[in-house]
């Protein structure tokens, strides 16, 4: 920290406020990409920090907008990186999309078209819904020629759009036709992140660009179930009997993580280990400010 951040009300994390935060919070909610890891690489000091927080009796919860994995797949990833995390401590936007359909009594006889990856399909299957698309449509091509009519399933009642590294013209046409032509078809976005640290060395396009493509073709706005929407918070509260004012949301994005924390009434900590750094933090609107900021969650180790 060089102390140049002055225009905001945010405070750098320090020995004093870190202790106060620890004493007044019962659960830490962590974003994953850019906070816990970058791609397949753990951020330095993360396992030790999580161990320390658990040793202080804190609940650890992982709230990720990255929909490419299901909760089960995330638990496996944590284990492979040497961090013991249970599936039910993970709240991913893939899970949120399936739960949105469930709590809204989405008819079981209807299908869901997915522009996204395996995580969404797994969560839909686990929740008892029938899904189409996803990776299976990743290599499909379209030949634009006369008399070609693109057929789509009229029983699709929802299109879910999330991060999809195999997005293509076929999927865009399929999703568009469902939303435009199937009466009442829902348009659900897992999240609208602009970019994310999908590998350790750089940022990559986020789900926001896949969602924007479908907004462009349908001229409709989606229902967003991931952060900054607090839809997932209800599930979190069902599991943990902790008031949101005794939770701290830790994330690397102001417009999703920190806004989610604020929307839910949580304490907030911004870390500079992901997409936000000190200079982009300075540029960002003052409307969304974290309570505290620091370089990475490993700083908690230093201060406690
Ligand atoms: Mg992140």
The predicted-structure confidence for 249-279, as pLDDT tens digits, reads as follows 999 999 999 999 999 999 999 999 999 998 8
pLDDT on residue 1: 43
Query: Which alpha helices (H) appear in 68-141, and where do they start and end?
Result: 71-80, 93-103, 118-126
Give pTM, 2 decimals.
Answer: 0.93
Burial letters for 168-193: b for 16+ Cβ neighbours within 10 Å, e otherwise?
bebbbebbbbbbeebeebbbbbbbbb
DSSP symbols for 132-160: EEGGGGTT------TT------TTEEEEE
Q: Does pLDDT of 4 surpass 70?
A: no
pLDDT on residue 2: 42
pLDDT on residue 279: 85
- Cα(237) to ligand 1 centroid in Å equals 22
26 is a catalytic site residue: yes
Provide the pLDDT confidence category of residue 285 given band limits of 50, 70 and 90.
low
Q: pLDDT digit string (tens) for 213-241?
A: 999 999 999 999 999 999 999 999 999 99
- Cα(261) to ligand 1 centroid in Å equals 13
pLDDT on residue 205: 97
Q: Tally the residues of the chain.
A: 304
**Number of other residues whose CB lies within 10 A of the CB of residue 55:** 8
- Cα(33) to ligand 1 centroid in Å equals 4
- The overall average pLDDT reported for the chain is 94
Residue, of 93 and 9, whose pLDDT is higher: 93
Degrees to nearest 5, angle at CA 242 with 240 and 245: 140
- Cα(78) to ligand 1 centroid in Å equals 16
Percent of the chain with pLDDT over 70: 96
Q: Does pLDDT of 5 surpass 50?
A: no
- Cα(147) to ligand 1 centroid in Å equals 45
pLDDT on residue 263: 95
Candidates 26, 88, 137, 164; catalytic one: 26
For residue 218, give Cα distances in angstroms to 50, 143, 273.
43, 21, 36
- Cα(108) to ligand 1 centroid in Å equals 33
Q: Does pLDDT of 7 surpass 50?
A: no
Residues, CB within 5 angstroms of ligand 1 (ion): 31, 33-34, 252, 274
- Cα(32) to ligand 1 centroid in Å equals 6
Q: Which of 5-9, 33-37, 223-227 is predicted least confidently?
A: 5-9
pLDDT on residue 287: 77
- Cα(274) to ligand 1 centroid in Å equals 6
Q: How far apart are CA 118 and CA 68, in angstroms?
A: 6
- Cα(144) to ligand 1 centroid in Å equals 38
Q: Does pLDDT of 8 surpass 70?
A: no
Q: Does pLDDT of 284 surpass 70?
A: no
Query: Which alpha helices (H) appear in 147-193, and where do they start and end?
Result: 169-181
Give the residue-averaged pLDDT of 292-296: 96
């Amino acid at each position: 920290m060089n102390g140049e951040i002055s225009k905001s009300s945010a405070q750098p994390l320090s020995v004093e406020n870190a202790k106060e935060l620890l004493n007044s919070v019962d659960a830490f909610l962590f974003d994953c990409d850019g906070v816990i890891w970058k791609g397949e690489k753990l951020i330095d000091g993360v396992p030790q920090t999580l161990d320390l927080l658990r040793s202080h009796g804190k609940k650890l919860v992982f709230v990720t907008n990255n929909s490419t994995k299901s909760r089960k797949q995330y638990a496996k990833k944590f284990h492979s990186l040497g961090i013991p995390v249970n599936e039910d401590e993970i709240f991913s936007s893939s899970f949120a999309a399936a739960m949105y359909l469930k709590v809204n009594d989405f008819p079981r006889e209807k299908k869901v078209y997915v522009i996204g990856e395996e995580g969404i399909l797994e969560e839909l299957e686990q929740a008892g819904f029938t899904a189409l698309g996803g990776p299976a449509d990743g290599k499909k091509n379209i030949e634009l020629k006369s008399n070609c009519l693109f057929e789509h399933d009229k029983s699709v009642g929802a299109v879910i759009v999330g991060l999809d590294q195999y997005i293509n013209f076929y999927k865009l046409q399929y999703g568009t036709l469902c939303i435009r032509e199937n009466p009442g078809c829902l348009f659900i976005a897992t999240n609208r992140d602009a970019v994310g640290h999908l590998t350790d060395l750089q940022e990559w396009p986020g789900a926001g660009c896949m969602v924007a493509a479908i907004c462009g073709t349908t001229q409709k706005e989606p229902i967003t179930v991931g952060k900054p929407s607090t839809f997932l918070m209800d599930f979190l509260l069902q599991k943990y009997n902790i008031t949101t004012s005794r939770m701290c949301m830790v994330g690397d994005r102001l417009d999703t993580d920190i806004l989610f924390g604020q929307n839910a009434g949580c304490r907030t900590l911004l870390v500079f280990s992901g997409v936000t750094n000190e200079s982009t933090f300075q540029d960002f609107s003052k409307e969304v400010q974290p309570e505290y900021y620091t370089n990475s969650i490993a700083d908690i180790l230093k201060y406690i």
